[in-house]
Amino acid sequence: MSRFLAAALSLVLAAPCVRAASAPVAPRSGDDVPGATAPASPVAQSLARSAIDDDAITQRVEAAMRADQRLAGADVSVNTDHGVVSLTGNVRSGEQIAAAIESAQSPDGVMRVDNHLSVTPP
């Protein structure tokens, strides 16, 4: 081995290991870091956001239906899943079904309304 190569190799081996400055490294799951939590996956974040959005849509649909005088005496349950609103229960007429569907379609975020309402005359 040449003297030059031997000298260069000794410098590399003798130099302290220095880590380049970079962004802080987030703890990996399983690391024992007090108070640290692993970040939620994008899928988990999307599902959580979807659940919140679905709850908000359900509340807006229920409020719209309570405000609609045409639905007096109707017994309608509202469930929302990924923006799809499902209406179940009993109404007094076909007109109330139409009013319930119209009220359910009005809030922002509603992608589709599935009607599972039954007419039961008073």
pTM reported for the whole predicted model:
0.60
pLDDT digits (tens, 9 = 90+) for 22-40: 555 555 555 555 555 556 6
Mean pLDDT, consecutive 10-residue stretches, the chain (122 aa), reads 58 53 53 58 62 88 96 95 96 96 94 96 78
Within 8 A by CB and 6+ apart from 82, the residues are 50, 54, 111
| H/E run at residue 92 | none
Contact between 110 and 61 (Cβ < 8 Å) = yes
SS (H, E, C) 34-54: CCCCCCCCHHHHHHHHHHHHH
Q: Which CATH architecture has domain 42-122?
A: 2-Layer Sandwich (3.30)
Domain residue spans in the chain?
A: 42-122
